[in-house]
């Protein structure tokens, strides 16, 4: 399934770093950034997480929360969050159900081999629970800034 701008955000509930739990229901009435990343503590994912952490005060100033989602189990996610001092929740979608609902668990290929993996994607969810903006196949440099600009436009 492909999620597009204007659609209702698919419901989710996942365990997250710091003993937290994240869900669409808990975010009701609050805009937020939901980003999907392939693997904790890898170079691109670390850069992306640190960029969101750096942008967090400005995003929170706009009333936005940030939630990161990967298919990793909780243990590596907790280590990743601690190692880089990530204040926002990182959620474990080990069953890939949320990734499938958002269309981010996709067929990929490398060196002629195809496999299933997480597509680096970001969704800006409005306070009405609808998808306000979608970024697919995200390139990390400058991405957090682009999300912030879109969030400002959201109002």
Q: Is-contact 17 77, C-beta < 8 A?
A: yes
Pair of tokens at residue 128: 């009405």
Check 34, 45, 64, 147 and give the catalytic one.
45
Cα–Cα distance for residue pair 95/79, rounded to 1 Å: 20
Pair of tokens at residue 105: 């668990």
Site of tokens 């808990």: 26
Q: Which residues contact 77 (CB under 8 A, 6 or more apart)?
A: 16, 17, 40, 70, 90, 91, 92
For residue 104, count CB atoms less than 10 angstroms from its CB and return exposed for 0-12, middle for 13-18, buried for 19 or more.
Answer: buried
Judge whether 50 counts as a catalytic residue.
Answer: no
Site of tokens 């800034």: 145
SS3 percent helix, strand, coil of the chain, rounded to 5, is 35, 30, 35
Catalytic residues, by residue number, are: 45
């Amino acid at each position: 399934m492909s999620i597009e701008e204007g659609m209702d955000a698919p419901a989710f509930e996942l365990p997250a770093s710091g003993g937290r739990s994240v869900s669409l229901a808990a975010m009701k009435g609050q805009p937020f950034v939901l980003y999907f990343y392939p693997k904790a503590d890898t170079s691109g994912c670390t850069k992306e997480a640190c960029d969101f952490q750096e942008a967090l005060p400005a995003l929170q100033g706009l009333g936005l929360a940030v939630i990161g989602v990967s298919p990793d189990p909780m243990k590596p996610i907790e280590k990743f969050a601690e190692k880089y001092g990530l204040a926002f929740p990182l959620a474990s979608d080990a069953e890939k159900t949320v990734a499938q609902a958002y269309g981010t668990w996709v067929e990929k290929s490398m060196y002629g081999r195809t496999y299933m993996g997480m597509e680096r994607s970001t969704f800006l969810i409005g306070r009405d629970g609808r998808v306000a903006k979608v970024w697919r196949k995200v390139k990390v440099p400058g991405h957090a800034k682009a999300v912030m600009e879109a969030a400002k436009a959201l109002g």
